[in-house]
Amino acid sequence: MTRKIVLIGLPTSGKSKTAGLLAQALHADWVDTDLVIEQRFGKKIPWIFREIGEDGFRCLEYQVVKDALSGPARIVSLGGGAPTFPATRNLLAGHTVYYLKASPDFLSDRQEQRSQKSAKKKTAQVRPLLAGDARQRMRELYDGRKDIYEKIASVVIDAEKKRQEMAADIIAAES
Ligand code: S3P
């Protein structure tokens, strides 16, 4: 098994963007499991959640994470909930797992600022598990997941930093 660099953390913690920066800096291939799920099904994640529910989504996600971890790409960014599914979590053993950690309120503040800007451009990403009171939902996700994230993390990265700095911290930890 080839060891991967795996990025985990709450939605909006910067996993995908940081993984992209890492891929550039390390001249390495990168797989984002949310993107693979959408490509395989030809549907957006909110649609998949609506049609098959969260449990169905976690089963699809398990297979995509399994494929990514046994494929050629060195860097793998996961959807925020992937480690909550025990079978998916078990796949991570033997890989270097970077937990991009930030407080839920920090993430909500940053997300609100970004969505004010992107509302005009219509690029805002829809996250079904943040539907409704997104700030409250983010706190609940944090409370429900923090122990899982901490337990499986090989390294905790401060995700209140800029993405370039997070990528630099990961590169430093790798060297
Ligand atoms: C989820 C996070 C999303 C996506 C799905 C479920 C979660 O990915 O996988 O909406 O359970 O936290 P991001 O963490 O990239 O937003």
CATH code (residue 156): 3.40.50.300
For the chain, the domain total comes to 1
Do the annotations mark residue 146 as ligand-binding? no
Task: Pick from 129, 143, 145, 146 the residue to mutate for probing ligand 1's pocket: most ligand atoms within 8 Å of its CB.
Answer: 129
Annotate 87-117 with b (16+ C-beta within 10 A) or e (fewer): ebbebbeebbbbbbbbebeebbebbeeeeee
pLDDT for 120: 63
Helix and strand numbers (H, E) in the chain are: 7, 5
Q: For the whole model, what pTM was predicted?
A: 0.95
* H helix or E strand, kind and range, residue 144: helix 134-152
Q: Which atom of ligand 1 is nearest to the CA of 141?
A: 12
Instruction: Return phi, psi of residue 31, to 5°.
Output: -120, 130
Structure-token pair, residue 150: 């901490």
pLDDT of residue 121: 60
Confidence of residue 83 (pLDDT cuts 50, 70, 90): very high
d(CA 52, CA 126): 17
Q: Say if ligand 1 is within 6 A of residue 104 CB.
A: no
Domain extent, residue 29, equals 5-174
Distance 143 CA to ligand 1 centre (A): 16
Residue whose tokens read 């490509």: 39
Element at 24 (helix H, strand E):
helix 15-26
Residue 102, φ and ψ in degrees, nearest 5 = -150, 155
Please name the residue ranges forming H helices in the chain. 15-26, 33-41, 45-70, 86-90, 104-121, 134-152, 163-174
Phi, psi of 92 (to 5 degrees): -85, -10
The pLDDT tens digits for 106-153 are 999 998 888 787 766 655 567 888 888 999 999 999 999 999 999 999
Confidence of residue 66 (pLDDT cuts 50, 70, 90): very high
Q: Measure the CA–CA gap between 156 and 60, rounded to whole angstroms.
A: 27
Q: What is the pLDDT of residues 40-49, one digit of tens each?
A: 999 999 999 9
What is the reported pLDDT for 123?
A: 56
> Which of 56-60, 108-112, 166-170 has the lowest average pLDDT?
108-112
Residue matched to tokens 């991967």:
4
